[in-house]
Amino acid sequence: MSDQMVEIVDNLITKVCDNVNTVVGYVFSKQLYYHCNRLPKVKGRAFLVHELIKAYGLTTKCLIIESVAANDLQMRCFHSEDYLNFVKHVSDKMLSDEDFSEEFISEDFGIGYDCPPIPQLYQLMTHIAGSSISAADAIIQKRCDIVINWFGGWHHSHRDEASGYCYTNDIVFCILHLLDNGFDKILYVDLDLHHGDGVQNSFIHTNKVLSVSFHKYEIGFFPGTGDTNDVGFGSKGKYYSINVPLKDGITDECYVNIFKKVLNKIQTAYKSQVIVCQMGADGLAGDPMNAFNLTIDGYSECLKYLITINKPLILLGGGGYHLLNTARLWTSLTACALNEQLDNDIPDHSCFLAYRPTYELNIEPSLRHNLTSNEYIDNILENVYKNISFKKRTIN
């Protein structure tokens, strides 16, 4: 047998083995689906995402993880009693989207412009929080190697307020559940366009969670945090927050190069037991945020790298305001987790006509100039490496 044939056979065997050995879970419930479709800034997005994933037949290749809503006791593990009481008041009194009143607005609790009051708000929060607790459960019980929850990833919410379109922080609930069940070296990776401030702030004093966020950073851009000097606090938490601020127009090649270099350093210094990754789609070319210039290929390369670390992995959604492109991305990443190849021609399904005129899965980059210069990258990586080095010494 020729060397070329040996390589082909080896690749086929590897692919078969990967598919046999890797169990991919997909978090879903009808109630979760219903509530996520009501989210004001991304209405109908959950429908588009789930329908495209189904259209490619990917749900049949996943283990369906039934999402269970968080109970009152679980909700109080993170959110303050005052915040939850106000949300319950909105839920009890607000009967429809048109039933607007000043009594449902609170600057103190962040319920207003970015996070408007909506009916059944408390129920929505419990289902979103519960979805990522359910994802963590599947890892804790060793039912899956990879768990996907595109309904989660709401990384801006804080203990006592909604923020940045996020009413609750399911990621914090997910990590808390992992911490309560034997995991004490958790790597949180945030690929959203925006800094994962809510998650970082929740674990900023501990060395049990290492948070690394790749995001746009400039004066006036929400949430205004995530500089390289933002490294955590205290004897345990300092240097367990790693931030990689990037600039507009960054391309797949540039982004993936930075990502792999940083993650490689982190993995050397911090032997994680489990990885939680938020994969917000607002860095895609064509997103209304109009910042990064990424495509499906860039995100997929990052995911492939995370999979090679060979640790339990939870994948979450997040931002993504070009709803069709978000569906394209998360469908492609679901296939990537399953080690499946997808046809570029989108299958006929209930949302098929929405993908006109191309009816294709692929997302082309724009012609935007990449402001993340080589000099800037070198400077950022130097600072990040120093922070990781300091953190390594604190571990030792």
Residues 75 and 129 sit within 8 Å (Cβ to Cβ): yes
The amino acid at 204: I
CA atoms within 13 A on the CB side of 255: 29
Parallel/antiparallel/unpaired status of strands 186-190 and 274-278:
parallel
Residues 105 and 118: beta-carbon distance below 8 Å? no
Answer yes or no: 156 catalytic.
yes
List CB contacts of 66: < 8 A, sequence separation 6 or more: 28, 29, 134
Distance CA 125, CA 132 (A): 11
35, 50, 127, 156: the catalytic one is: 156
Structure tokens at 36: 């996520």
Which of the 8 DSSP states describes residue 386? H
- Residue matched to tokens 């930075």: 258
Separation of alpha carbons 38 and 91, rounded Å = 14
Q: Identify the residue whose tokens are 């990502």.
A: 259
Helix (H, G, I), strand (E, B) or coil at 135: helix
Q: Which residues of the chain form beta strands (DSSP E)?
A: 24-28, 63-66, 146-149, 186-190, 209-216, 241-246, 274-278, 313-316
Residues with catalytic roles: 156
